[in-house]
Structure 1
């Protein structure tokens, strides 16, 4: 480990900050270059925005459910400008804490645009020397080659809407499309999702059907439907014209244009890296969405840590096995990415408990599914339940450690809980 080298990290999102914090903890001289706002897409435009809006959406759903059951006599309406303003104020406070934490770690923050000229790093036109460089510039909304695409909004525009749209047409079939469909449906919008292929196609079919039919029951979902043109009032699709505010949720594009000629990029623009997060250039590393990888904050942080440690001369390799994922809807959708199929499986309705007790009355408590091979190795873990996202990282770790799912026969749970995964594990360990 070389302690007197100068490390420059470009990008102040989850990957960049994780790398910078690791290097600072090793007493390295660290400069973090951020173009606009520290925290990256996750804090300023993505995950935290979804959290803020989804909390309100869930409250509205709960209020309506309890009113329908006669438990509460209440009517709620959403003032979107006040909601968006509250989200922005909260993000600002989190951003202040994040910046202070970064500075307190001994990291110098430089706000400005980074670019390369003749292999030299320039920040706001001034050359910046480095011994190690880490690229963590994230990604931006992918704008597909659809006529009129520039007239649609993306997740970046959500907090600047004047109000709740009467009708919203979301183009895309992935996690971003699903989350905003759930939020604005709860807010009162008439939501249509237009997916050129399958909706949430990476999910287990049983779980996907539950999400579509139970969780997003008020959302119109059109699969295998292409969008041919977008105007300010709606979209033209292969199935006809759909009126509503158009929103693009068609994926992400790595922020790597400024790296052309400096680093080797993949066919979709992601920086090519190995399992040590090394790029095509010596002493230059990359991490997070700029590599065109998995597109989640925890993975970006993991890659940032690996990049930072290797930059400091400490050998680490990234491990993508058994990654946990989640989707923020009325109930959390949690699952672990496991390659392969086959094995014995069991399914159980969600349990009554905190956050789902009143759902018993309408049969919407969630659902869980587990599939394991004969040797106890899991081949599928899925849950739709309040807090489903909380159990998946622990299961992910157990899998990485090689723990057999048969060992869940001795599992003791906390109670009350909406986690039904352990019940399926215990059942499959006995039969």
Structure 2
């Protein structure tokens, strides 16, 4: 018999933790997982899944309007926030149940409570129970970062936004990243007056400059207001329940809600990691090697808590690689090159590989190809909104090293195109592919 209660104890039942638990158990390991919030983690409970459902709901605002140009006699429609909110939360409940069933079917023991480390191979639950495990996996994900300033307690984050009692007529969103721009598009389509406040001078750092400039242009055309170089000074709650936001270099703004979307930090606070010698970086992320092992040999970490690439599919791959390597006898290392990403803004963005600036810095000699066009649907609907596709090519090898897109269904198109970039295909390979007409995706094989 083992001297430990479990072969593996996982702290955090999000995407990475659940995948690692399930796969390790399938390899014969005795596995337990502790989750202090809800099974499913950020993505399922308070992230990409409920957010994408809100994105779908927001799209109907334009679809209903455009339908009239396509011959549909559509009556004036009224949006009901509480109906969508409750339906989305019900779907979250359903998915949480499925995640729980998955763990149960693999005979993973679930402790619905907080767990902290008290030793390299021992954890303590919130009720005081102590459990030993040969290996411990930290998969606690990330948590919204809220800057400290007077009145910050009056703001909400992406954790609370799905539970609003009513739709705010005016909303101020702090931040310039994907979360800020996604919720700006959502609230704007629902009819809220949206102002994005950014302490810097650009949105979507890390994305190609032409693509992010196009989103800024379209967002402003849709009525979203942007305030740049305007750090928060304070938030004042008024007697009528409204909020007054005081900013540097900008007039005060009155709003009904303030959403802080200034990034996410690794969720390591209070876990006891430092006490047992687990090394953290300056952001609080757990330092790990390619094998997901920390500075303490019995402790591993996967997902956003390591702050490598904060994407759900990456966390899942890391969880799978950990379980296969440690318990399955199949050493696996995750490849972080050419990981595709998306921003579910209005319109959405899809990207994979190097931006133009990155390619010039790294490769020197490159070629760029762009297609700037109106989607067929937008033409008939009378919308001037234009899509932009951009391909970055290594001039020396003809290899496609980057694809960047903004336009309807860009993430859906990009996923398949990312396979070509990952496989190292060339511009000639794209050119040799017959176009699928009429479609937006055909622009990728018609770039000149």
Structure 2 length as normaliser, TM-score?
0.88
| Structure 2 counterpart of 1:224, from 208, 224, 229 | 229
| TM superposition shift of 1:48 | 1.2
Match of 1:260 in 2: 274
3-state DSSP of counterpart to 1:318: coil
Q: How far apart are the structure 2 equivalents of 1:95 and 1:10? A: 17
Match of 1:154 in 2: 157
CA 420–118 in structure 1, closer or farther in 2 if over 3 Å, else same? same
Q: How far apart are the structure 1 equivalents of 2:400 and 2:32? A: 43
User: 1:304-335: CA deviations, max 9, x gaps?
Assistant: 12222232243222211111010112332100
What are the ranges of 5 or more consecutive residues in structure 2 without an aligned counterpart? 238-242, 361-365
| TM superposition shift of 1:274 | 1.1
Report whether the alignment pairs 1:237 with 2:247.
yes
Q: How far apart are the structure 1 equivalents of 2:191 and 2:420? A: 41
Match of 1:276 in 2: 291
Moved more, 169-178 or 33-42: 33-42
Match of 2:34 in 1: 33
Moved more, 282-291 or 30-39: 30-39
Q: How far apart are the structure 2 equivalents of 1:69 and 1:221? A: 33
Moved more, 79-88 or 328-337: 328-337
Tell me if structure 1 keeps the 8 A contact 2:389–2:444: no
| TM superposition shift of 1:126 | 1.1
Structure 1 length as normaliser, TM-score?
0.91
Match of 1:47 in 2: 48
The RMSD of aligned alpha carbons is 2.3
Match of 1:122 in 2: 124
| Structure 1 counterpart of 2:318, from 286, 303, 327 | 303
Report whether the alignment pairs 1:208 with 2:212.
yes
| Structure 2 counterpart of 1:418, from 434, 437, 440 | 440
Q: How far apart are the structure 2 equivalents of 1:59 and 1:211? A: 19
Match of 1:249 in 2: 261
Tell me if structure 2 keeps the 8 A contact 1:352–1:360: no
Q: How far apart are the structure 2 equivalents of 1:415 and 1:22? A: 42
Match of 1:143 in 2: 146
Moved more, 390-399 or 50-59: 390-399
| TM superposition shift of 1:23 | 1.2
Tell me if structure 2 keeps the 8 A contact 1:348–1:368: yes
CA 326–111 in structure 1, closer or farther in 2 if over 3 Å, else same? same
3-state DSSP of counterpart to 2:441: coil
Match of 2:422 in 1: 400
Q: How far apart are the structure 2 equivalents of 1:101 and 1:118? A: 29
3-state DSSP of counterpart to 2:19: helix
CA 359–158 in structure 1, closer or farther in 2 if over 3 Å, else same? farther
Match of 2:9 in 1: 8
Match of 1:346 in 2: 369
3-state DSSP of counterpart to 1:300: helix
3-state DSSP of counterpart to 1:186: helix
- Aligned residue-pair number: 422
CA 399–70 in structure 1, closer or farther in 2 if over 3 Å, else same? closer
Tell me if structure 2 keeps the 8 A contact 1:53–1:183: yes
Match of 2:332 in 1: 316
Tell me if structure 1 keeps the 8 A contact 2:354–2:392: no
3-state DSSP of counterpart to 2:291: coil
Tell me if structure 1 keeps the 8 A contact 2:69–2:380: no
Report whether the alignment pairs 1:179 with 2:182.
yes
CA 201–421 in structure 1, closer or farther in 2 if over 3 Å, else same? farther
Tell me if structure 2 keeps the 8 A contact 1:347–1:368: yes
Q: How far apart are the structure 2 equivalents of 1:165 and 1:270? A: 34
3-state DSSP of counterpart to 1:270: coil
